[in-house]
Structures are given as C-alpha cells and as structure tokens.
Amino acid sequence: MSKASSKKSSVDKVREHLNRCGVAIEVMELDESTRTAALAAEAVGSPLGAIVKSLVFLADGKPVLVLVAGDKRADHKKLEKILKARRVMIADADQVREATGFAIGGVPPVAHKVKLSTFIDKNLGRFETLYAAAGSPRAVFPISYEKLVEITGGQLADVTED
C-alpha cells in the first residue's frame, strides 16, 4: 500500500470527527461540485441560505472561523467589533489550508487542524436543515442549526451585511 492510499481523505477526517461528536450524520459525496454556495444549493436541492459558508478570517493576524448563510455576506466592520480587532481580513487560500487543514471550497465547520474560535451567523437559524461542506468540493452533510452550534462550540452573532 502506498503512502498516498493509506492517508485519510479530507472527507474521512470530517466523518470521523462527526462520529466522535456522537452525531449520526451521513456525509453526502456528490457527482456535482459543491465548491460554492450556489453550486451546493443546486446539488442538494436546497435554498441558497441553507448552505453554510465556512469562512476563515484573520483578526489582527489570528485565524477565526465565521459560519454564514449562503445568501449572506460577512460584514468586516461587524467582525472587527465582535472580535475587538483593529483589522479583519479574509484569509487567502494558503492561510485557510494552514488554519484548517482543508482547501477552499471544501472547508467544513469542524475537524480543523487546530480549534478555531467560531462565530455563527444567526441568519442560519431560518432553516430546518443546513448543508455544510465535508472536506472536499464534492461533499456536504446535512445538519440542524442547533446541532451545528453544539458541535462547533460556536458563538452566535450578527456577522452579516444588512
């Protein structure tokens, strides 16, 4: 067995994390891309807002995770105030991978390399079922808002543009 084939996939890491959390959720691996919120919504047949965007921001250089509804945009000024940071900026692809262990387009809300401070936009609570990335741009998992808050340990906040 080669090194590459014995290495756990990103999706397997998410599955294992969900199992460790005691969450009976099936990760859906799809033929269609789920790389963007719009593509994910189309692939699973859900409203755009039911897609969880896992965004990594740098608050004064420190990575934080912000979970936002697919039909909303994160507001840098609100994040600066909530995080008590002088400067908040979106992380680039390398910074996202460094902070989470996952590539943009497949960043899940859990199973990161290190525990990130997580902020969950209250707008996600509008939906009974949410869909979050599961480690690859073709994998998602369904989850309730309450369970998402529970397994991420996230802090509820108003982090989106009005």
Following DSSP, what letter does each residue of 123-149 receive, concatenated? GGGG-SSEEEE-SSTTEEEEE-HHHHH
The answer to whether the CB of 154 falls within 8 A of the CB of 148 is yes
Tokens standing for residue 132: 């979050």
Tokens of residue 162, six digits: 């009005």
Q: What is the DSSP letter of 74?
A: B
Could you give phi then psi for residue 7, rounded to 5 degrees?
-75, 140
This prediction's pTM: 0.93
Task: Using pLDDT thresholds of 50, 70 and 90, give the confidence band for residue 2.
Answer: very low
What six digits make up the tokens of 37? 């919120």
Spell out the domains of the chain, with CATH numbers in brackets: 9-157 (3.90.960.10)
CA 78/CA 95 separation, integer angstroms: 22
Average pLDDT over residues 82-91: 97
Convert the pLDDT of each residue in 47-80 to its tens digit: 999 999 999 999 999 999 999 999 999 999 999 9
pLDDT (tens digit per residue) in 103-112? 999 999 999 9
